[in-house]
Amino acid sequence: MLQLKDNVTLQGLATSNAAPILIEDVDRGVIRNSEAARGSRCLVHVGGVATRDVTVIGSRVPPGAGIATFERSDLGRAVHVRE
């Protein structure tokens, strides 16, 4: 089980599309109270074939950014975002 808590994540290049947190094939995970720094386009990028049941709670992203991006559209069901 993956657990990340109280992280300020960094993204060095404002022109980069890379997410500060990359997860792949995670089965049950929690990302709690984390923040994507200015210049980040999202907080977490989700990939793999077996990723499931990941919850993002109380995390923040810069204006115009999203919480998550996905390698494949069906992975969107794997991530649950809660305020």
Residue 65, burial from CB neighbour count under 10 angstroms (0-12, 13-18, 19+): middle
Does the pLDDT at position 14 exceed 70? no
Average pLDDT over residues 25-46: 89
Spatial separation of the C-alpha atoms in residues 19 and 23, rounded to whole Å: 10
What Å distances lie between residue 38 and 13, 57, 82, CA to CA?
A: 10, 19, 21
**pLDDT tens across 54-66, in order?**
999 999 998 998 9
Does the pLDDT at position 6 exceed 80? no
